[in-house]
Amino acid sequence: MQTLLKLTAARSGDRLQLVTTEVLEMGTNILRFIGDIRATPGRYSVQIGSREHLHPPDSLADEPHEQRDPRFVWRFLDHSCKPNAKVVEQSLVALRLIQVGEVLTFDYNLTEEDMATPFRGECGHCGGRMIRGFKHRQHPSAI
């Protein structure tokens, strides 16, 4: 799990985010998503196939446990419409050079078809539109 040494979970207000502790070159394989694959999405799942949603194990649902287990820090990844990373197969890959202390983000609308818990975007790049999954986008070809 040496790749996880590049990250830490940091509190921002009432939630945790993943923050880099090293400079990451573009193309760096930052972490591999590990969890339970189910057919339906959940609040913290990441979609990795048409009916494959990777969930953090239920036994690690409370945050202190997850902070102690670095395999599941991916659950704290934030959404951004202008992200610094993307999901490639079952890994998170840096889209550009990422500086120390940056919050790691990916675009949920690129991986998620129909999100279990849609929310209003707060990334600062989209004017607070609803993030619901690519199924709901009006112009899918614009992705």
Q: 40 exposed, middle or buried (CB, 10 Å; 0-12, 13-18, 19+)?
A: exposed
Q: Which is nearer to Zn ion, 66 or 107 (CB)?
A: 107
Give yes or no for residue 110 binding Zn ion (CB under 5 A). no
∠ Cα 106 111 112 (to 5°): 115
- Which tokens go with 85? 């990373």
Give yes or no for residue 95 binding Zn ion (CB under 5 A). no
99's CB contacts (< 8 A; 6+ apart) are 20, 23
Q: Which is nearer to Zn ion, 47 or 109 (CB)?
A: 109
Eight-state DSSP code of residue 97: -
The window from 31-39, 57-65, 69-77, 79-87 that contacts Zn ion (CB under 5 A) reads 79-87
Residues facing 10 on adjacent strands: 17
The window from 9-17, 44-52, 76-84, 99-107 that contacts Zn ion (CB under 5 A) reads 76-84
Residues 113, 28: Cα–Cα separation, whole Å: 25
Give yes or no for residue 81 binding Zn ion (CB under 5 A). yes
Among 121, 132, 134, 136, indicate the residue that binds Zn ion (CB under 5 A): 121
Give yes or no for residue 126 binding Zn ion (CB under 5 A). yes
Residues that bind Zn ion (CB under 5 A): 81, 121, 123, 125-126
